[in-house]
């Protein structure tokens, strides 16, 4: 079997390659362009391999039919050679296709969800590396075997041996050089793609670290980088939700703080101050000063309430409870009746949520000189008499609002605090505040602060108590809202 001239062998290969190139645009439209963007690089590789292998098979058939070369020898070698060239070409064109997908994604034509099917980077590296190594080894072995067979047909002597050895070495080095150039080209091409992906990911994360959540990472690959990009986008979406929620909470905080009185109405013989400090953006505590209707001029109702729980749910219920209490307190009637009606309406709103509201409600009537109160599950108010340096408590026997709609509330009365006497109404955020060691603030600390500041105004006493509680708990130690109203008797 004679050797074909190089030009004739090239013509045998060129004919099927030209045919493959002719059908390539049609196949590419059907096989690559219609695929999802993340699948196009792999489809590009598959298409190039199929075209090169088909061209190799066609060339092998031409050699067999026209030149009677055996398929199992020359045909397989030709298919192997074109498969190797097709692998390198397909990998390079697949990476080029991936760059196009990345550029399109950066221009806005992108998906931001994690890839539905993961193609591991380690698996891709392993498959490509093993395949290239096997093909390179097989091709070099075939070249060596061919050269050995060729050397066996030559008349070797000292004059020709050196020339033949150099020819064989040049041929092997040429094959190895070609393979090395193809490998370097693939490494450079892959590095370009990886740099584009990493630069985008890094840029978006840098923006996130600065608080800019306007950008997301395009998902441009089906490997771990695509998964990381998808989860980064999920994180950004959650952060956006958090920002929107925080903005909503800020607005809710402003609205809720607006509900709280800035100062108490002036009342003869009484100095009154109140404040609420929330542990979250919004809280379930409140205090209110309610001036009664014109027919009962001079009476003032004071409410200090605490809704179970924290956050926006407690804030909403606090707002509803405050409105119901204000509505009923402003109408004529006993204090117990006002709270009974408020409890009836509030129980309907609360339903089966399991929430409730503790409340200390009192009505000061200067005309009668009396202070009437209802304690619905609230901590006992502390009444300090500096004349005897003693404390008494304004307790109650009633349950919180919202528990039992038909509950009948009970009121108790006393004289208005005389000059120097101090009445302190608090929520459990003061009594149950915990220090770093786990100890509770408790009643005795509260009484000590009131006693030490008995010569101050109501506002000064309030500031002393709230400041000591915050100091006791530490900057991050308060877990409950803190509400306090101080009423001090003064001379007319």
pLDDT at 10 over 80: no
- Angle, alpha carbons 178-123-57 (nearest 5°): 50
CATH of 261-489, one of 3.60.40.10, 3.20.20.140, 3.30.460.40, 3.30.70.260: 3.60.40.10
Residue 351 has pLDDT above 60, yes or no: yes
Higher-pLDDT residue of 140, 184: 184
Note the pLDDT of residue 253: 66
Give the pLDDT band (50/70/90) at residue 367. confident
Say what the pLDDT of residue 107 is. Answer: 86
pLDDT band at 374 (very low <50, low <70, confident <90, very high): very high
What average pLDDT does range 311-316 have in this prediction?
A: 74
pLDDT of 295 above 60: no
Q: What pLDDT score does 44 carry?
A: 93
Which residue, among 234, 246, 227, 241, has the nearest Cα to 115 in the 3D structure? Answer: 227
Q: Centre a 10 Å sphere on the Cβ of residue 227 and count the other Cβ atoms it contains.
A: 16
pLDDT at 349: 79
Cβ contacts of 319-323, under 8 Å, gap ≥ 24: 319/256, 319/259, 320/346, 320/349, 321/286, 321/346, 321/357, 321/401, 321/402, 322/259, 322/286, 322/288
First and final CA of the chain: distance in angstroms? 131
Over residues 127-137, the pLDDT tens digits come to 888 888 888 88
pLDDT average, residue stretch 167-190: 83
Q: Is the pTM of this model over 0.85?
A: no
pLDDT digits over 112-129, tens only? 888 888 888 888 888 888
Cβ proximity of 486 and 270 under 8 Å: no
* Mean pLDDT along residues 268-289: 82
| Mean pLDDT within 459-481 | 83
What pLDDT does 263 receive? 82
> pLDDT band at 173, cuts 50/70/90?
confident
- Give the whole-angstrom CA distance, residue 183 versus residue 196: 20
At residue 260 the predicted structure's pLDDT band, cuts being 50, 70 and 90, is: confident
75 or 27, higher pLDDT = 27
CA distance 374 to 41: 76
| Phi/psi at 245 (5° precision) | -65, -40
Per the model's pLDDT, the better-predicted residue between 253 and 80 turns out to be: 80
Name the residue with higher pLDDT: 411 or 153. Answer: 411
Return the closest-CA partner of residue 38 out of 126, 128, 102: 102
Question: pLDDT tens across 149-167, in order?
Answer: 666 666 666 666 666 667 7
Statement: residue 296 has pLDDT above 60 = no
Task: Find out whether 402 and 346 touch, Cβ atoms under 8 Å.
Answer: yes
For residue 176, is pLDDT > 90? no
pLDDT over 90 at 474, yes or no: no
- Domain positions in the chain: 6-230, 261-489
């Amino acid at each position: 079997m004679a050797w074909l001239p190089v030009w004739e062998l090239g013509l045998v290969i060129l004919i099927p390659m030209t045919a493959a190139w002719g059908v390539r645009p049609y196949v590419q439209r059907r096989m690559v362009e219609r695929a999802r963007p993340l699948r196009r690089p792999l489809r590009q590789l598959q298409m190039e391999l199929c075209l090169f292998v088909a061209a190799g098979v066609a060339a092998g058939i031409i050699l067999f039919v026209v030149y009677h070369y055996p398929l199992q020898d020359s045909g397989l070698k030709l298919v192997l050679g074109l498969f190797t060239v097709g692998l390198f070409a397909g990998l390079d064109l697949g990476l080029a296709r991936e760059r196009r997908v990345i550029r399109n994604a950066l221009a806005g034509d992108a998906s931001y969800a994690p890839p539905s099917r993961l193609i591991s980077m380690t698996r891709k590296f392993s498959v490509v590396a093993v395949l290239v190594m096997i093909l390179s080894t097989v091709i070099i072995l075939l070249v060596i075997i061919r050269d050995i067979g060729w050397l066996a047909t030559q008349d070797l002597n000292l004059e020709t041996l050196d020339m033949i050895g150099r020819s064989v070495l040049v041929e092997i080095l040429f094959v190895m050089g070609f393979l090395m150039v193809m490998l370097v080209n693939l490494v450079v091409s892959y590095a370009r793609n990886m740099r584009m992906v990493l630069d985008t990911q890094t840029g978006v994360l840098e923006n996130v670290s600065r608080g800019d959540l306007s950008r997301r990472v395009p998902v441009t690959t089906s490997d771990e980088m695509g998964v990381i990009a998808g989860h980064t986008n999920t994180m950004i979406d959650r952060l956006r939700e958090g920002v929107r929620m925080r903005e909503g909470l800020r607005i809710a905080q402003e609205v809720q703080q607006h509900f709280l009185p800035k100062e108490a109405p002036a009342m003869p013989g009484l100095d009154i101050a109140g404040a609420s400090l929330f542990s979250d953006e919004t809280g379930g505590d409140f205090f209110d000063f309610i001036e009664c209707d014109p027919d009962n001029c001079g009476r003032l109702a004071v409410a200090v309430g605490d809704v179970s729980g924290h956050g926006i749910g407690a804030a909403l219920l606090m707002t509803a409870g405050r409105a119901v209490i204000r509505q009923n307190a402003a109408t004529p009637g006993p204090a117990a009746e006002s709270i009974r009606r408020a409890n009836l309406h509030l129980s309907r709103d609360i339903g089966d949520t399991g929430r409730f509201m503790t409340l200390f409600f009192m009505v000061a009537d200067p005309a009668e000189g009396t202070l009437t109160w209802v304690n619905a599950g609230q901590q006992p108010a502390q009444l300090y008499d500096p004349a005897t340096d003693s404390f008494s408590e304004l307790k109650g026997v009633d349950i919180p609002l919202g528990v039992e709609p038909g509950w009948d509330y009970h009121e108790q009365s006393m004289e208005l605090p005389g000059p120097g006497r101090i009445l302190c109404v608090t929520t459990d955020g003061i009594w149950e505040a915990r220090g770093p060691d786990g100890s509770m603030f408790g009643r005795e600390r509260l009484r000590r602060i009131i006693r030490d500041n008995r010569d101050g105004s109501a506002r000064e006493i309030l500031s002393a108590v709230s400041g000591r509680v915050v100091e006791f708990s530490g900057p991050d130690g308060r877990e409950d809202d803190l509400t306090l109203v101080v009423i001090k008797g003064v001379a007319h």
